[in-house]
């Protein structure tokens, strides 16, 4: 038990430290990117931090398995470099026992990741989506302040609404959009309408600006050939920045039970992805255990590069399998074939050296006989 407590404490300490560093790096990068959206009027700065906090579990469910993987590499690598692993082997700790000790923190981590991926992350994604659907969550074209002209620099749009009701219905709406044609000439599109509001498509996650009872003027400044169109109802897709805060997949916010009862290929793929995250934790833990074998001359970082490549290959194959499953294709069994392949890799890495040594020894004995 003392060995188990010692190894578990060391692995979890490294895992927490690595996960914290990765979280700070990823969270900071996303925050700066989303802050840029707020700066150009795509997002209200007031909801930026709450949305990021709601999406924090989605970051953690991917960061924690990687943190455990790197933590085992660093922890056991130190034990090999400082010859502590040699002492454990001399005390009778076999590779199978060491794998059993390693699976204790791995199973604890898998339960944590399961709670995040199956329950907490979907709830956070749904809350985040609810905030972003609120008409007050954005500025410029997406949401107008009553009685004020607002400029959205990302697409050169000036907007105005005389009054806005509590339900988000805008009255006496004015929009002016500037762009350049292929010849570099300035083009103006001016739209005026009696009413307008933001519509949200829950199926696709897209947002539309819907205007009612108005006119649209399209032409080039200084010329008299403006095209005038009268409309009773006019809708325009609100473009979202690629990789922006509003481009999250709507399926991420659906409860796991809803995915379980759904027959949609997209929902089945999302369900298997959520289950795959905790399943991969003990597998990568055994792989990290095997890749941590080193000595004091080579150092504990010598196998970091191949370890990262192997972990990256695992995630890429899972992601590609999910994409194929969403399209209705892929290998029968969904994502499970990826786990089976890497489970076999882990077992070969764990028992392969001892089986090979035993085979060579038996062959040597037969040769002498």
Are 204 and 129 within one domain?
no
Are 205 and 157 within one domain?
yes
Beta 157-164 vs 170-180: how paired, if at all? antiparallel
Looking at residue 94, what is its pLDDT?
80
Are 269 and 363 within one domain?
yes
* Average pLDDT over every residue of 94-121: 91
* Average pLDDT over every residue of 290-307: 79
| Three-class secondary structure assignment of the chain | CHHHHHHHHHHHHHHHHHHHHHHHHHHHHHHHHHHHHHHCCCCCHHHHHHHHHHCHHHHHHHHHHHHHHHHHHHHHHHHHHCCHHHHHHHCCCCHHHHHHHHHHHHHHHHHHHHHHHHHHHHHHHHHHHHHHHCHHHCCCCCCCCECCCEEECCCCEEEEEEEECCCCCEEEEEEEEEEECCCCCEEEEEEEEEEEEEEECCCCCCEEEEEEEEEEEEECCCCCCCEEEEEEEEEEECCCCCCCCCCCCHHHHCCHHHHHHCCCHHHHHHHHHHHHHHHHHHHHHHHHHHHCCCCCCCCCCCCHHHHHHHHHHHHHHHHHHHHHHHCCCCCCCCCHHHHHHHHHHHHHHHHHHHHHHHHHHHHHHHHHC
Are 288 and 332 within one domain?
yes
Are 19 and 66 within one domain?
yes
* Average pLDDT over every residue of 8-22: 92
* Average pLDDT over every residue of 18-24: 93
Residue 244 lies in a domain: no
Looking at residue 67, what is its pLDDT?
94
CA angle 200, 161, 177 (to 5 degrees): 75
Question: What confidence category does residue 369 fall into, taking pLDDT thresholds of 50, 70 and 90?
Answer: low
Q: Which residue has the higher pLDDT, 205 or 316?
A: 316
Residue 242 lies in a domain: no
Are 183 and 43 within one domain?
no
Question: What confidence category does residue 135 fall into, taking pLDDT thresholds of 50, 70 and 90?
Answer: low
Looking at residue 13, what is its pLDDT?
92
Looking at residue 240, what is its pLDDT?
59
Q: Is it the case that residue 43 has pLDDT exceeding 70?
A: no
* Average pLDDT over every residue of 32-46: 69
* Average pLDDT over every residue of 111-122: 93
Looking at residue 142, what is its pLDDT?
47
Are 6 and 122 within one domain?
yes
Question: What confidence category does residue 248 fall into, taking pLDDT thresholds of 50, 70 and 90?
Answer: low
Looking at residue 134, what is its pLDDT?
63
Instruction: Give me the percent of the chain exceeding a pLDDT of 70.
Output: 85
Instruction: Give me the percent of the chain exceeding a pLDDT of 90.
Output: 25
Residue 351 lies in a domain: yes
Question: What confidence category does residue 341 fall into, taking pLDDT thresholds of 50, 70 and 90?
Answer: very high
Are 215 and 264 within one domain?
no
pLDDT-wise least confident of 52-61, 201-210, 254-263, 307-316 = 201-210
Mean pLDDT of the chain: 82
Are 9 and 128 within one domain?
yes
For residue range 63-86, what is the model confidence (pLDDT) as tens digits?
999 999 999 999 888 888 888 777
**Boundary-marking domain end, from 213, 237, 261:** 237
Looking at residue 345, what is its pLDDT?
92
Q: Domain range spanning residue 186? A: 143-237
Looking at residue 246, what is its pLDDT?
60
Question: What confidence category does residue 141 fall into, taking pLDDT thresholds of 50, 70 and 90?
Answer: very low
**Boundary-marking domain end, from 237, 266, 294:** 237
Are 7 and 129 within one domain?
yes
Written as six digits, the tokens of 23 are 């979280």
Q: Which residue has the higher pLDDT, 32 or 113?
A: 113
Question: What confidence category does residue 42 fall into, taking pLDDT thresholds of 50, 70 and 90?
Answer: low
Tally the domains of the chain: 2
* Average pLDDT over every residue of 283-297: 86
* Average pLDDT over every residue of 257-277: 88
Q: Is it the case that residue 140 has pLDDT exceeding 80?
A: no
**Boundary-marking domain end, from 205, 237, 269:** 237
Q: Which residue has the higher pLDDT, 51 or 302?
A: 51
* Average pLDDT over every residue of 319-323: 89
Are 7 and 54 within one domain?
yes
Looking at residue 242, what is its pLDDT?
54
Are 191 and 60 within one domain?
no
Question: What confidence category does residue 28 fall into, taking pLDDT thresholds of 50, 70 and 90?
Answer: confident
Residue 243 lies in a domain: no
Q: Which of 16-25, 184-193, 356-365 is most confident?
A: 16-25
* Average pLDDT over every residue of 256-263: 87
């Amino acid at each position: 038990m003392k060995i188990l407590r010692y190894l578990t404490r060391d692995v979890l300490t490294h895992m927490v430290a690595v996960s914290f560093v990765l979280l700070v790096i990823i969270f900071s990068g996303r925050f700066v990117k989303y802050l840029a959206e707020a700066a150009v009027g795509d997002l209200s700065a007031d909801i930026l931090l709450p949305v990021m906090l709601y999406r924090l579990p989605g970051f953690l469910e991917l960061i924690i398995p990687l943190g455990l993987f790197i933590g085992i590499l660093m922890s056991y690598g130190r034990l090999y470099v400082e010859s502590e692993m040699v002492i454990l082997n001399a005390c009778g700790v076999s590779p199978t026992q060491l794998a059993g000790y390693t699976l204790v923190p791995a199973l604890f981590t898998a339960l944590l990741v399961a709670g995040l991926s199956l329950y907490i992350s979907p709830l956070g994604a749904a809350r985040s989506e609810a905030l972003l659907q609120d008409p007050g969550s954005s500025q410029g074209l997406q949401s107008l302040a009553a009685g004020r002209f607002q400029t959205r620099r990302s697409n050169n749009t000036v907007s105005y609404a005389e009054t806005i009701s509590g339900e988000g219905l805008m009255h006496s709406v004015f929009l002016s959009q500037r762009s350049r044609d292929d010849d570099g000439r300035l083009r103006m599109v001016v739209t005026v309408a009696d009413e307008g509001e933001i519509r949200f498509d829950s199926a696709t996650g897209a947002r539309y600006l819907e205007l009612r009872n108005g006119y649209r003027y399209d032409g080039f400044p200084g010329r008299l050939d403006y095209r005038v169109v009268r409309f009773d109802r006019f809708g325009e897709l609100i473009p979202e920045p690629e990789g922006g805060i509003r481009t999250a997949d709507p399926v991420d916010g659906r409860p796991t039970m809803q995915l379980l009862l759904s027959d949609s290929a997209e929902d089945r793929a999302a369900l298997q992805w959520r289950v795959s995250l905790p399943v991969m934790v003990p597998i990568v833990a055994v792989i990290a255990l095997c890749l941590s074998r080193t000595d004091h001359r080579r150092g504990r970082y010598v196998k970091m590069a191949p370890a990262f490549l192997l972990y990256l290959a695992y995630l890429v194959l899972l992601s590609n399998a999910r994409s194929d499953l969403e399209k209705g294709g892929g290998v029968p069994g969904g994502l499970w074939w990826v786990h089976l392949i890497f489970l076999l890799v882990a077992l070969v890495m764990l028992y392969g050296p001892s089986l090979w040594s035993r085979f060579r020894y038996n062959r040597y004995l037969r040769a002498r006989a």
